[in-house]
Amino acid sequence: MTVTIARENAIAVVTVDNPPVNALSQALRQALVAAVSTLDADAAVKAVVLICAGRTFIAGADVGEFGKPPQPPHLPDVVATIEGAKTPWVAAIHGSALGGGLEVALGCAWRVAVPSASLGLPEVKLGIIPGAGGTVRLPRLIGPAAAVDLVTSGSPVGAKKAEGLGLIDAVVDGDLRAGAIAFANDIAGKARPQPVSSRAVAPVEAGFWEGAEKAVAGKAKREAAPLRALASVRKASETDFASAMAFERETFLELRGSEQAAALRHVFFAERAAPRPPELAGVTPRAIRSAAVIGGGTMGAGIAAALRDAGLPVVLIERDAAAVERGLANVRGIYEGSVKRGRIPQAVADERMAGVTGGDDYGLLADTDLVIEAVFEDLAVKRAVFERLSAVCRPDAVLATNTSYLDPDAISEGVSHPERFLGLHFFSPAQIMKLLEIVPTEATAPEVLATGFALARLLGKIPVRAGICDGFIGNRILKVTRAQAERLLLSGATPAAVDAAMRAFGLPMGPFEAQDLGGLDIAAFQRKAARERGETPFAPVADRLCALGRYGQKTGGGWYDYQPGDRAPKSSETVAAIIAEVAEGRAQRTWDEAGIVDAIILPMVNEATRILEERVALRAADIDLVKIHGYGFPRWRGGPMHHAEARGLSAVVAVLDRLAADGLAEPPSDSLRRAAEAGGFSVLAG
C-alpha cells in the first residue's frame, strides 16, 4: 500500500495505490489522515486531488477486517479530517466509489468522475449499513428520497445519473488526472461549498417515511440491514449531524457482528474465489470467440441467449427446418420478454437476435470454438450428436454437454479428442440463473476445464466445479430435499405447512409449490430410470400423483389444486386423501416451523457432506454457491453449509440422530460426524 503526494503547481495530487481495489485498510486510513496534515501545513497548496491507481477508486472498507475489532483511525474520523482540511479536496473517481470509498468522497469538498465510473453504498448487501457517514451525509447532499434509494438497495449508479442527483459535481471526459487537476485549478480561487455535514436535509412529504418503510420491508423480507439503513437515513433527516452519526455508527457496529453479516461476507468471498480455483492457477483457457448450441428447446434457447448476451455470435442447430424455426422463436421470445420488462431496448434485442444463426446443417460448426449440446436427456440421442460434432468440428473446439442427470463420461464415449469434452450444466432459465456447474470427465484437459471457468466469467455466471454422480451437486441435494418433504407429509405435516415454513426460512418458494411450477413429470422420469438401474428413490406420494396425471400447474393440479387461469395453490382434498392412505400406520406428530426447516435443511447438509467427502464438490463454500445461485437458498443465510457451521455441527448431528431414530431422515454420515468433531467442514476439503 502506498499513498504518494505529487505537486502540479498549486495543486497537490494524492494517489492511493492499494491493490486490488484500494480498500480502506488501517494503513490506508492512517496514510490519508497523514496526507491531510502534511498538505494543510503547506501554504502553497490551494487544492488537493484524491485519485487512485489501478482499476478503481476506493471500493470500500476492507471486508477482510470486518471479523476483527476496528483499529484507529476509524473511518468516520478520517472522513471528518478530510472534510475539515484547510485545503479543499477533490475526489477524482474512476471504476467504483463504493461504501467507505464513497464516504471518503463525500468528505471531499468536490467530486468528479469519468463517465464509466459507478458510485454506491452496497453495505446492505453485506448485511451492514454504511458506517462512516454515508446515511448521514447522503440525504444532506442529494435529498432523503434519493438517499433512501441508494442506501436501501445497495445498487450503484453511473456517473451521469450521479451528476443528475448532485452526487458528483462534474463528469470528466478524457484523462481523469488532468481533468481533475484542471477542475481543482478552477475551484481553487472560488468560495468553498458548505461542508456536507453542516447542510440541512430537505423536508419530505407527509407519509414519506411510512411509505418507504413499507416498500423496503416488502423487498427485504427477513434481511435486517435494509430497514436498519432506512432508519439511519431517517434519523439523519430528523436530527443533528452528530446524533445521526452516533446512531449510524452504533447500528453499523451492531450489524457488523450479526449472523446475517457473517453469512453475507462468507458469500462475498466465496463468489470472488469461485472463478479462480487454485487448482487451475496458471492454466490458460482456450479462446472462445464463437459458440453454437445444439437443441432449441427452453434450455437450448436460454443458453443461446446467455451466450449472445455476452457478445458471442451463436449458431443454433436443430434437426430440421421446422425445429430450427421453433428454436429461433424460443430465443426471440426471450428477447421479446426482456424488452417488455424494460430490461433492454428493442434495438438491443434486434442486434442480439441478428447474431443468432439457425440451421440444421452441422457443417455450419466447422470453425466454431465452443459447442454446447442441450438436446433431450437420452444417452443414445446425445451420443449421436457428439458423433456428428466429432466429425465436423475443429479438433481443438470445446464440446460440452448440458446434461442434468446423465453421466458425461458415458456421453463422451466415442468423442474424438475427448480431452476437449466437459459438462456445462446451466440452470433454467439459463439466460438468468447465475449458476454454472462445470463437470470435467476423466479425460478433460486442464485448459478445457479452465475454458469452462473463463466462459462463466464471460457470461457473468458463478462457476462451480462438480464431480460426476447422479445429479452432480445441486440436483443430488434436491433429491434429498424432495424425499424429506414427503417424509414430513407422511408424519403429519401438510404441503401448505411445509411450503410456508420454507418460505419463512427465506426460500422464494416451498418444495411443493416449486414442483407444481416446474412439473412433476421430469422427476418421475428420473425415478423411473433410477428404478431401472435397481435404485429405490423415495417418492410414494409423488408417484401416486403422477399416476393420476397430476403433474402440477400445467395439468391443473399437482401437490395443490389450481383454478383455470389462476396460479394460486389451493389445498387439495385428493392429495390429502392420498397422503393419509400412504401414511397409514405411520406415527404422526405436530410439526412447527423450526422442526420442518430442520427436517428439510439438515438432511441436505448431510448429503452435501458426503458430496464433499467424495470430492464431487471441492469446497463447502462451492456447495453454498450452488444452493444460493441455482435453487434460491437465502443468500443472507450463507448457504446450507455456512448455515450448518453457524448453527454448530454438533447440534446438526444431534438433530439428525433424533430424526433418524424416528425414521424421518438418514443418520448423520461418518464424514459429518468427523466434521462436527473437528468443528468445521475444512477437515473434509483439500
Q: Can you give the binding site for ligand 3H9, defined by CB under 6 A?
A: 20-21, 23, 55-56, 59-64, 75, 96, 98-100, 103, 122-123, 126, 130-132, 134, 272
User: Which of 420, 414, 423 is closest to 395 using CA atoms?
Assistant: 420
Minimum CB distance to ligand 3H9 smaller for 183 or for 636: 636
Amino acid identity, residue 388? R
What phi and psi values does residue 482 have, to the nearest 5 degrees? -70, -40
Minimum CB distance to ligand 3H9 smaller for 476 or for 635: 635
Q: How far is the CB of 154 from ligand 3H9 (least distance, A)?
A: 8
Q: What b-and-e string marks burial along 63-90, b requiring 16 or more CB atoms within 10 Å of the CB?
A: beebeeebeebebbebbbbbbebebbbb
156 Cβ contact partners less than 8 Å away, ≥ 6 residues apart: 96, 98, 118, 119, 120, 122
DSSP 347-362: HHHHHHHHTEEEES-G
Minimum CB distance to ligand 3H9 smaller for 47 or for 75: 75
Q: HSE-up of 586 (CA within 13 Å, CB side)? A: 19
Q: How far is the CB of 601 from ligand 3H9 (least distance, A)?
A: 28
Minimum CB distance to ligand 3H9 smaller for 265 or for 527: 265
Are the CB atoms for 505 and 601 separated by under 8 Å? yes
Q: How far is the CB of 135 from ligand 3H9 (least distance, A)?
A: 9
312 Cβ contact partners less than 8 Å away, ≥ 6 residues apart: 288, 289, 290, 291, 355, 458
User: Which of 611, 505, 259 is closest to 267 using CA atoms?
Assistant: 259
The single residue listed with the C-alpha cell 448521514 is 136
- Joined together, the cell numbers standing for residue 444 give 478433460
Minimum CB distance to ligand 3H9 smaller for 265 or for 479: 265
Map residue 288 onto helix, strand or coil.
coil
Minimum CB distance to ligand 3H9 smaller for 156 or for 418: 156
Question: Which residues are known catalytic residues?
Answer: 103, 123
562 Cβ contact partners less than 8 Å away, ≥ 6 residues apart: 516, 553, 556, 568, 569, 570
256 Cβ contact partners less than 8 Å away, ≥ 6 residues apart: 66, 128, 131
Q: How far is the CB of 126 from ligand 3H9 (least distance, A)?
A: 6
Q: How far is the CB of 237 from ligand 3H9 (least distance, A)?
A: 19
Q: How far is the CB of 230 from ligand 3H9 (least distance, A)?
A: 16
Minimum CB distance to ligand 3H9 smaller for 81 or for 390: 81
Q: How far is the CB of 29 from ligand 3H9 (least distance, A)?
A: 9
Q: Rounded to 5 degrees, what angle do the CA atoms 625, 628, 632 make?
A: 160
Distance, CA of 407 to CA of 644 (rounded, Å) = 30
